[in-house]
Amino acid sequence: MSRLYNDKILCGDSLAELQKMPDGFIDLGITSPPYNKQEKNNGELVSKVVYSSFRDSVPEAEYQENQVRVLDELFRVIKEGGSFFYNHKIRWVNGEMFHPMDWLRKTQWTVKQEIIWDRTIAGNIRGWRFWQVEERIYWLYKPMEGNKKGKELDSKDAKLTSIWRNVPENNNPHPAPFPVWLPARIILSLLSEQEAGLVIDPYIGSGTTAVAAALLGHTYIGIDIDEQYIDYAQERIKNRAQECDKVEKERALHIVKKSHSKRKQEAKSALRLFA
Ligand SMILES: C[S@@+](CC[C@H](N)C(=O)[O-])C[C@H]1O[C@@H](n2cnc3c(N)ncnc32)[C@H](O)[C@@H]1O
């Protein structure tokens, strides 16, 4: 039954589609949901993002409640020991701050890490606060047999820091895509290259997560409410070879040139020189 979902993009509401899925059959998830950017406020929260088939503006409490339900369904369909990476940002409405942790703490997930994505975008010259250049990526973990720590990362991946400094996507007709290096980094760090895993993105948009998964030898499931975005995603997946370079550039960062013990040894020798 779960094989039916391999390499499929479903058109519909993510909560409703997730509710139809069986328990514990997915290895990894990655997404960036709509941010409830409150279009009414002239894009004060997130500017220039307009989706074609829905309005990204509901009462905040309703938005957060829906996100908790979606995240809890994802918790159910992902395997024990599996992870979900959730890209979001801190927002303000009329001076009040909404932090993703406000609702993440209400889900069943263990929050394993908060990663800062420094988007290296140019500074603004006015605003109510210092120019917000970062977004957040939450690594959510489903404990296995009550163990909330999970497995150690390989050195090749653990050497990357909790600040991801890299550019957003700028060559994609979707209004809010994330760049392909981002899901590629997560997949390279969490899944084995020897064994095909199944990766879900419940708000798949232009298919970036699927492109990264397919290029790295894994299968995917996507959900999006907008048929046009899905058509574009399918086209992109078909032509994914064109994005191979970006994924290979990311892979090149996952190489250990010097082991931890070698670096420690070198540091000790250097200290001895100055002693
Ligand atoms: C921030 S975008 C994701 C972009 C994606 N990461 C990419 O790289 O293209 C959010 C997506 O959620 C979709 N969406 C909004 N509400 C939805 C819902 N209730 N169920 C499923 N998809 C939804 C939108 O159509 C949009 O494509």
Domain residue ranges in the chain: 2-274
Q: Is the CB of 229 under 6 A from ligand 1?
A: yes
User: What mean pLDDT comes out for the span 26-36?
Assistant: 97
Helix 181-190 with 208-215: angle, nearest 10 deg: 50
Residue 104: CB atoms within 10 Å: 20
- In the prediction, which pLDDT does 114 show? 98
- In the prediction, which pLDDT does 37 show? 83
> Whole-angstrom Cα distance, residue 251 to residue 184?
8
Q: For residue 33, how far is its CA from the centre of ligand 1 (angstroms)?
A: 6
Q: Is the CB of 228 under 6 A from ligand 1?
A: no
The answer to whether the CB of 84 falls within 8 A of the CB of 74 is yes
> What is this structure's pTM?
0.92
- In the prediction, which pLDDT does 43 show? 43
Higher pLDDT residue, 48 or 171?
Answer: 171
Which CATH architecture describes the domain 2-274?
3-Layer(aba) Sandwich (3.40)
> Whole-angstrom Cα distance, residue 91 to residue 50?
17
Assign 273 a pLDDT band (cuts: 50, 70, 90): confident
Q: Looking at the predicted structure, is the pLDDT value of residue 39 above 70?
A: no
Q: Looking at the predicted structure, is the pLDDT value of residue 40 above 60?
A: no
* pLDDT tens readout for residues 121-143: 877 778 889 999 999 999 999 99
